[in-house]
Amino acid sequence: MINCPKCSSEALVETPALGNIPLDVCPGCSGIWFDKGELEALLKQSPAGGSADFNLINPKAGSLACPRCKNKMSRGGLVNPLLLVDKCEACGGVWLDANELGLAKKLLGVSGGSSEVKVERPAAAPVEPPARDPKIVLIKTAAGVGALLGLAGVSFEMYLYFSPAASVPRAPSAGIAVASALLFAGGILVLNWGKEDRWS
């Protein structure tokens, strides 16, 4: 990963926007980094570029550091004195500002293709939710049903207990009440089991 020489916080994004030449483009300023040979390969597609000399014309010390090797790049004309670019004499890479690619193509008579390349910042890798084990889902579902049945059982026994004996179908059973309470408590316990994983 290499950072934009202009916007230090932006990482260049590789994009195959111009045919088969992968470009490193800054999502912030849309500047383009060409590794050695890449720009030449692109410009050679034009009649004027085929015979062009890719050494800088009137190179001067520039202010940008090469994103690859951190050497100070030189600023000078590329192919045409009007097309000022930053070139790293150490690794041969060339930096074009967003508007310079269009200018390069115009000067060389390259037609077609985009004159500007835009990229989006890559999205942060999505956090995968932990895969749910179907067995655990089954156990939790059973626990939920158990808890509901337990609650219903306890409620029914309470209803039997507090209602006048004549109006209810049978006498309340302490055994069923206790079993239902245990079922409810156990179900809730199982439902909560494993929850602490979420915080780790």
Residues at the site binding Zn ion, with contacts judged by CB under 5 A: 4, 6-7, 10, 26, 28-29, 31, 66, 68-69, 88, 90-91
Other Cβ atoms within 10 Å of 197 Cβ, number: 8
Nearer to Zn ion by Cβ, of 69 and 145: the residue is 69
Q: How far is the CB of 57 from Zn ion (least distance, A)?
A: 19
Distance CA 62, CA 33 (A): 16
Q: How far is the CB of 71 from Zn ion (least distance, A)?
A: 5
Q: How far is the CB of 80 from Zn ion (least distance, A)?
A: 23
Nearer to Zn ion by Cβ, of 68 and 75: the residue is 68
Q: How far is the CB of 123 from Zn ion (least distance, A)?
A: 19
Q: How far is the CB of 34 from Zn ion (least distance, A)?
A: 11
Nearer to Zn ion by Cβ, of 46 and 115: the residue is 115
Nearer to Zn ion by Cβ, of 17 and 151: the residue is 17
Other Cβ atoms within 10 Å of 59 Cβ, number: 17
Scanning the structure block, which residue is given the tokens 């193509």? Answer: 105
Residues contacting residue 36 through CB under 8 Å, at least 6 positions apart? 91, 92, 93
Distance CA 70, CA 67 (A): 6
**Rounded to an integer, what is the distance from CA 34 to the centroid of its chain?**
24
Nearer to Zn ion by Cβ, of 34 and 184: the residue is 34
Distance CA 114, CA 140 (A): 56
Angle, CA of 41, 47 and 48, to the nearest 5°: 85
CA nearest neighbour of 117 among 109, 131, 127, 105? 105
